[in-house]
C-alpha cells in the first residue's frame, strides 16, 4: 500500500511504500535530512511527524495504517 508523504517546509509530496526507510523516501523526494550516526543515537536526523511526534528518520520506516504522513524538517535556521 502506498502512503503519501509530505515534507515540510519545502512542501514536497511523494508516494512511498509502507516499510520504506524514511531517509530513502526523503532522498527520492530530493529532500535533505541531516544524518550522523545512522544508528539512532545522535538525533541529527530528528524530524517531526504529524506536528507532534519527534522521530529519528534513520531508524524509522513508513508506518502502515495511514494514507498520508506529514514530516516537518525543522529548517528554522536558528534551530
Q: Which residues bind ligand FES (CB under 6 A)?
A: 35-38, 40-45, 56, 58
Spatial contact of 57 and 35, defined as CB atoms under 8 Å apart: yes
- Smaller CB distance to ligand FES: residue 42 or 61? 42
C-alpha cell at 35: 544524518
SS3 71: strand
- Closest-CB residue for ligand FES? 58
Closest approach of ligand FES to the CB of residue 22, in Å: 10
Q: Report cis status (omega within 30 of 0) of the bond before 9.
A: yes
Min CB(67)–ligand FES separation in Å = 26
Pair 68, 16: CB distance under 8 Å: no
Cβ proximity to ligand FES, 37 vs 54, nearer residue: 37
* Smallest separation (angstroms) from ligand FES to the CB of 64: 22
Amino acid at each position: 500500500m502506498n502512503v503519501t508523504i509530505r515534507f515540510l517546509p519545502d512542501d514536497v509530496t511523494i508516494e512511498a511504500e509502507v516499510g520504506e526507510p524514511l531517509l530513502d523516501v526523503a532522498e527520492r523526494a530530493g529532500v535533505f535530512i541531516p544524518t550522523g550516526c545512522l544508528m539512532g543515537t545522535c538525533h541529527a536526523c530528528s524530524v517531526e511527524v504529524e506536528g507532534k511526534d519527534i522521530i529519528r528518520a534513520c531508524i524509522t520506516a513508513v508506518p502502515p495504517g495511514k494514507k498520508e504522513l506529514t514530516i516537518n524538517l525543522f529548517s528554522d535556521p536558528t534551530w
